[in-house]
Amino acid sequence: MSQRTLNTLFKPQSVAIIGASNREKRAGNVVMRNLLAGSFSGPIMPVTPKYQAVLGVLAYPSIEALPLKPDLAIICTAAQKVPAIVETLAQFGCKVAIIHASGMGQEFNDEGVNLLTLARQHAKRYGMRLLGPNSLGMMLPNLGLNASLAHTTALPGKIAFVSQSAAICTTVLDWANNKGIGFSSFISLGDATDIDFDELLDFLGRDGRTNAILLYIDSINEKRHFLSAARAASRNKPILVIKSGRSLEGTTAAKLHTGGLTGSDAVYEAAFRRAGMLRVNDLIELFAAVETLAHSAPLQGERLAIVTNGGGPAVLALDQLMLGGGKSAQLDNDTVAGLNKLLPSIWSRQNPIDIGGDADASRYVDTVKLMMDSDTADAILVLHSPSALGDSIEIADKLAAMVAQHPNRNRINILTNWSGEDSAYLARKQFNRAGIPTYRTPEGAVGAFMHMVEYRRNQKLLQEVPQSIPDNIPTDTELANNALNHAQSEGKRILETHESQAILSAYGLKTIDTYVARTPQDAVTIADKIGYPVALKVQSPDIHHKSDVHGVMLNLNSADEVLHAAASIIERVSSTHPDANVEGLIVQKMALTAGAQEIRVAVTTDPVFGPAILLGEGGSEWEPSTDAVVALPPLNMTLARYMVIQALKTKKLRDRHLPLGLDMHALCVMLTQISHLVIDCPAIASIDLNPVLCAGKDVTMLDVNIQLHDNPVDNATRLAISPYPKELEQIAKLKNGQDVMLRPILPEDEPKHLAFDNSLSDEDRYKRYFGVRSKMTHEEMAVLTQIDYAREMAFIATAKGDDGEDITLGAIRASIDPDNTEAEFAMAVRSDHQGQGLGKLMLEKLIKYYKDNDTEVLTGFTMFENRSMANLAKRLGFTVTFDMEEHLIKMDMSLK
């Protein structure tokens, strides 16, 4: 991947059209027309041996005949010709090519080589990038560039749109033009054989001309790159996603469309949420969200006030708000008193604010102005129903003029809904021109507002400090992996409850004592030993849900009952499943279920995103997409808590308020430890814990099924999100003999990292931040501690304080560019621990990490005053140079 060549994609100076044509309806003709219709200032160079000129522009007979190397080439030929054209362009020095041809993945040359593979190989050999194939092209309205097959051009604006579907591109384009909404870039990915979502997200996340990003996704190819890029970009600006394939049939169609892997829609949903993106369900929601993004400032809070001239629409809006989990603004006494002076005596005196069916422009303007002056709402939805007593266009006009002048216009968001058709249409146009979001229905307006709320909540979740797991919860990776390796060496692929106990208990997960009886008499002997009452279950590798085949008998209180139950189970299973291999019977001491609640927890391996954790109600009938909430590991206590809250909120999990029911802390510990187990043990393909008995703080797995992978798994790429790299932990000794732990930073470190930052002397802070700066905010500290290990690293040094608590003594961090070419580091050591060799230890650790990571160069900057840092860098092999103009010392080290 190379972000440097993506700069050319977004800022081309010259364009060549390969296969340009004078014949209408040909791709080479449409693209030429679109390019010439724009205001692109660079040379537009048609390449074709058929014509001397195309649409009046001098044509060149071949690529080699071009007078200069084009930054961007648009290939408008048939698929068979594309590989050779790509090779010639790449050799000629072209940086980026757009391929319109479709079906290249299904076509082969005379030697039987796939055309898509061939084109990709040629481009890669010479460092050229490809957009497509099957791409509609791209538009950069700010440059006047329309390098696409679209029927119309995009307006300039601040929203970037990236789509795998050409048809969705043209639909969104039509709608946006009608609304007067513009774009910073408009890109059709096509089959994404080279340039994909991840690189575009990295670029657009840093692009100053882009305020928001919209994605239409059929499938994801590079899960880890995609999520890393999305998490980074969503910290800076909202990302909205519309994802096809919500149904099984839709997923199959999406696979045929893009050829990508099909994963579970519920897992996609979990991935989008984890990355801080906002998913919308359909194009209507997408359009509403686009409208809001185009014209809205970031929400300061969630309180919505509704101003209306009719009761019905306001009630519809309020219902939509409350059912969606929103917050209705509460009017304080001063606001009510102010409104009493403006409104008829029969007004509602609460939110929604009904200003009367006879409301004119001045009443609307005065009411909204007073609400914008007050501190009772973070957003105001203004509703207007057609009335003979108020001119809807005049009201819209004067309201827009007042909002534009109001000092709080960037703090309080205004949304509007003018109902009706003819007069309402003109009023909505007026709001569009004024940059005020407007919607056809009250529900649509509230839905768009709730997208803003959801985005704000997602961002706050990303910044929460997770609670630590209690120290007494074990995590014995070696024991668990030894047990799994032993099972695999014996040819086992499924482990039941009795075979899983050691593995689960290694992670503090409690199972009920379980024994295997080969015969009914063995079952009686075990039951006599462990005590009654007992449960009896059939043991067969061919039967996963024992209760479905009546293979479970509970509350057996005597030897006779056990004998009869054993005979009945064997007889039933033999008659209904004659081919099943019945190995015997499982005997368990009955769990005390009175006052407790049963739930179900599972782990699946998704073909796109890898391991995913599921939580829902117990039972054998379980459709993950509808009956469970899904989260991607790694989980910490905060993410686990969010998962449980989400399950309760969506009724996937019901708190039955039993005396010994669900305990939030115990549930979160259990989910977090399952996450650790899955991360640490790559042999595990799936886990089904059904049921799990929740009795307050006591959580017990009653029935366990662990499936193992048939073949070894590449653990480096198995997980969608890079987990905490525990293998990088290291104990080191300072000059004064003190032991310190050098390890990667964790989200849980935020409070102690803040204490560390505050402990730096004024002089050290000045050197660290290249000037005077105030104390770190929670938001800033969250960015420093909640890092993505796939693209940045921060090591901290900790030691035990006098109270036994860990203290942070030093920190060093570096982030790499998306190409993994250069990492820039920064370091600080606690003022009272300088001179003990800690800086050297941390810098050596960082150098080794980036060498192992195949990064090319490590760089750093420090102030002239910080000569000790420069001297340390020099001793460790950095090249040190002085920038007299910037008053900085630069440190460079080649790691290759």
pLDDT digits (tens, 9 = 90+) for 405-438: 999 999 999 999 998 877 788 899 899 889 999 9
Exposure letters 790-823 (e unless 16+ CB within 10 A, then b): bbebbbbbbbeeeeeeebbbbbbbbbbbbbeebb
- CA-to-CA separations, 855 to 199, 327, 819, 846, 850, in angstroms, rounded: 18, 48, 9, 11, 5
In terms of Cβ atoms closer than 10 Å to its own Cβ (0-12, 13-18, 19+), residue 723 is middle
pLDDT for 246 = 54
Spatial separation of the C-alpha atoms in residues 841 and 642, rounded to whole Å: 38
- CA-to-CA separations, 40 to 1, 136, 140, 867, in angstroms, rounded: 27, 19, 9, 50
Mean pLDDT check: name the lowest of 106-120, 258-272, 682-696: 258-272
Q: Could you check whether the bond before residue 49 is cis, i.e. omega within 30 degrees of 0?
A: no
Fold of 154-295: Rossmann fold (3.40.50)
Spatial separation of the C-alpha atoms in residues 387 and 373, rounded to whole Å: 27
- CA-to-CA separations, 301 to 412, 439, 452, in angstroms, rounded: 9, 21, 10
| Mean pLDDT confidence for 771-777 | 76
Q: State yes or no: pLDDT of 299 exceeds 70.
A: yes
| Mean pLDDT confidence for 333-337 | 97
pLDDT for 260 = 47
pLDDT for 437 = 93
With H, G, I as helix, E, B as strand and everything else as coil, classify residue 371: helix
Comparing 805 with 87, which gets the higher pLDDT? 87
Q: State yes or no: pLDDT of 560 exceeds 90.
A: yes
pLDDT for 518 = 92
Beta bridge partners of 808: 798
Closest to 175 (Cα-Cα) out of 189, 154, 144, 160: 154
**Phi, psi values for residue 493, rounded to 5°:** -120, -15
Residue 89: its H or E element: helix 82-92
Q: Which amino acid is at 196?
A: D
Q: State yes or no: pLDDT of 203 exceeds 60.
A: yes
Percent of the residues in the chain that have a pLDDT greater than 70, as a whole number = 97
From-to residues of CATH 3.40.50.261 in the chain: 154-295, 300-462
pLDDT for 729 = 96
pLDDT for 298 = 85
Q: State yes or no: pLDDT of 123 exceeds 90.
A: yes
pLDDT for 635 = 93
pLDDT digits (tens, 9 = 90+) for 454-487: 888 888 777 777 777 777 788 999 999 999 999 9
- Superfamily of the domain at 1-143: NAD(P)-binding Rossmann-like Domain (3.40.50.720)
| Lookup result for tokens 């959801």 | 454
| Mean pLDDT confidence for 114-127 | 95
CATH architecture of 726-894: 3-Layer(aba) Sandwich (3.40)
Judge: domain 300-462, CATH 3.30.920.30: no
pLDDT digits (tens, 9 = 90+) for 628-676: 999 999 999 999 999 999 999 889 998 888 787 799 999 999 999 999 9
pLDDT digits (tens, 9 = 90+) for 249-274: 544 444 444 444 557 899 999 999 99
Distance of CA 458 to the CA centre of its chain: 10
Q: State yes or no: pLDDT of 245 exceeds 70.
A: no
- CA-to-CA separations, 332 to 238, 308, 339, 347, in angstroms, rounded: 32, 19, 11, 15
pLDDT for 4 = 55
pLDDT for 389 = 63
- CA-to-CA separations, 644 to 325, 393, 595, 670, in angstroms, rounded: 16, 48, 20, 11
With H, G, I as helix, E, B as strand and everything else as coil, classify residue 584: strand
Look at the alpha carbons of 654, 659, 661, 664 in this order and tell me if their dihedral is positive or negative. Answer: positive
Quote the mean pLDDT of the chain: 91
pLDDT for 250 = 47
pLDDT digits (tens, 9 = 90+) for 596-622: 899 999 999 999 999 999 999 977 778
Mean pLDDT check: name the lowest of 240-254, 343-357, 577-591: 240-254
Spatial separation of the C-alpha atoms in residues 35 and 146, rounded to whole Å: 5
